[in-house]
Amino acid sequence: MLMRSHYCGLVTEALIGQAVTLCGWVNRRRDHGGVIFIDLRDREGTVQVVCDPDRPEMFATAEGLRNEYCIQVKGVVRARPEGTVNEAIRSGKVEVLCHAIEVLNPSVTPPFQLDDDNLSETTRLTHRVLDLRRPYMQRNLMLRYRVAMEVRKFLDANGFIDIETPMLTRSTPEGARDYLVPSRVHDGMFYALPQSPQLFKQLLMVAGFDRYYQITKCFRDEDLRADRQPEFTQIDIETSFMTEQEIRDLFQAMIKTVFANTIGVDLGDFPVMPYAEAMARYGSDKPDLRVKMEFTELTDVMKDVEFKVFSGPANQPGGRVVALRVPGGAQLSRSEIDAYTEFVKIYGAKGLAWIKVNDLAAGRDGLQSPIVKNLHDAALQAILQRSGAHNGDLLFFGADKAKIVNDAIGALRVKIGHSEFGRRNGLFEDRWAPLWVVDFPMFEYDEEEGRWVAVHHPFTAPKDGHEERMATDPGTCLAKAYDMVLNGWELGGGSVRIHRADVQRKVFAALNIGEQEARAKFGFLLDALQYGAPPHGGLAFGLDRLVTLMTGAESIRDVIAFPKTQRAQCLLTHAPSPVDEKQLRELHIRLRNPQPA
């Protein structure tokens, strides 16, 4: 005898007249004048169960049911009476006339109603098991599963093989803090949890496996945001004997296939934009192309204005002055402008200058702003002409170090575009907006350390012909690196790798990594490159981010079964947690500042 013959959500009119055995949870129980209706729920959805009093034993059990009881129902499928069809659910044209009910396990009163959409995240994560029962979370995790399966099917069809790489490895510099694991056997030694399988997948290429992939956990001990977790899932891919363009074409096809086969979306064409253009126009290497506003470059015209807020950065190396034209923005109130001023301060901006364009024909007198008096006519004319300002527009300005301007005004652009004002005034286009960003710089200068550092990682190959620049002018050296962007989120990124030891030495020299340090940190990779390493490259997609975008969730925590909070805590299991002194002694560890018991 089967414990279950069908899923609740899959009971349809095709089963009318058939006996079914269902298992699930009581989503709701309703007593309608002697007839009891039960909405029975499982992972596939709900079905209505009708309990008539002409079966006294079954009916008595039904009277005692409460929300979240786990039960088994046996009955016959029949069509719902005319006028009671529920088109909102798959089983809405039928119901199950109950013959028998068995309570598999009762439930205490849940801490919240599963249909409550106003739960705090703390409540949801504390009671995550119940939160995961909600249809919203069930749909998200089922979609995550389907996305992973589509990825596997595509890669398998294209000759990729799934190979596991170690979770306990050595600490290597990859841009974020490592999670360290102390060794009990080797006193004073530590493993590191991988930030990515980068070095191992390159070794697999040298080993001749040609096409590798893995859907794997990665770990970074960094400050968290809504789109970050200390442990995250990566679709990690590497291939040999393919050019940069071939790699991009293949994995663009993969992502398009995944979207088409899981949510029925055609992503269309993927524009290609150089990094320098993305930064110039949007201040971001992952621009949201749905927002129809761009930067206006003003650094050159602000060098001789009296307004030191503008002329100071304009005359400093690495400074930048830009305007952001907000069509129709003159209708924004002073309080709204002040709120945006506070917003950009999050990104290091000292303030937010602005000009309201009331009447272009009136010249200077048609401009409303406390800064107009500090700008000469030529500067004002350049601002209005370059920005394409019209009557009723608002111009916001950013002036500081280029990074602060890009971060602050770039974030402001997105915030205004996504706001109710932006959507109402046509500044946001509701569509899927994919993009390849290419030609990243190889290096960026770290002022604190006083040296060049790798933008991606030190194994990224330079553009052909740029190898010699690494010694003479590292700042102009471009990389064979590429990021896939969707709706302002970085879906994935990668590069062609360095496969020749002589080029790798030049990169280390540019990064001020000496022979001894290179041997100590990357000796095993450098040794492997000597044995006829093939040209190779790849990329990695963030599975969590990918599914978040597809579901429209506000946070990646809504597509992960058991996520951490923004303080890297698990409210369900209370991790991290103290360990006892015996465990610490075995690991040769003594706490410098032990927590009080």
Residue 530 assigned ligand-binding role: no
Residue 590 assigned ligand-binding role: no
Residue 544 assigned ligand-binding role: yes
Interacting residues of 363 by C-beta distance below 8 A, sequence separation 6+: none
Token pair 């000292």 is found at 350
As beta bridge partners, residue 325 has 395
30, exposed or middle or buried, with CB in 10 Å at 0-12, 13-18, 19+? exposed
Query: 552 is written with which tokens?
Result: 């429209």
Number of alpha carbons in the 13 Å side-chain half-sphere of residue 257: 16
Q: Is 373 left (phi over 0), alpha (psi -120 to 50) or beta?
A: alpha
Interacting residues of 511 by C-beta distance below 8 A, sequence separation 6+: 443, 451, 452, 453, 454, 458
Token pair 């959409």 is found at 117
Residue 545 assigned ligand-binding role: yes
Helix (H, G, I), strand (E, B) or coil at 16: coil
Interacting residues of 87 by C-beta distance below 8 A, sequence separation 6+: none
Query: 331 is written with which tokens?
Result: 């209708």
| Helix 402-418 with 275-282: angle, nearest 10 deg | 70
As beta bridge partners, residue 494 has 482, 539
Residue 529's H or E segment, with its range, is helix 515-529
427 vs 186, 309, 329, 393, CA distance in Å?
59, 28, 11, 12
Q: How far apart are CA 49 and CA 38, in angstroms?
A: 5
Of 381, 384, 375, 335, give the one whose Cα is nearest residue 356.
384
Residue 497 assigned ligand-binding role: yes
Helix (H, G, I), strand (E, B) or coil at 94: strand
Of 498, 476, 494, give the one whose Cα is nearest residue 484.
494
Residue 221 assigned ligand-binding role: yes
CA dihedral defined by 66, 72, 77, 80, rounded to 10 degrees?
Answer: 10
Q: How far apart are CA 246 and CA 373, in angstroms?
A: 55
Of 282, 256, 290, 271, give the one whose Cα is nearest residue 430.
290
The pairing of beta strand 394-401 with beta strand 180-182: unpaired
Percent helix, percent strand, percent coil in the chain, to nearest 5 = 35, 25, 40
Residue 490 assigned ligand-binding role: yes
Residue 220 assigned ligand-binding role: yes
Helix (H, G, I), strand (E, B) or coil at 514: coil
Residue 517 assigned ligand-binding role: no
**Alpha-carbon Rg of the chain, whole angstroms?**
30
Residue 277 assigned ligand-binding role: no
Which residues fall in the annotated binding site for ATP? 220-222, 229, 490, 542-545
Which residues fall in the annotated binding site? 174, 220-222, 229, 456, 490, 497, 542-545
Which residues fall in the annotated binding site for L-aspartate? 174, 220, 456, 497
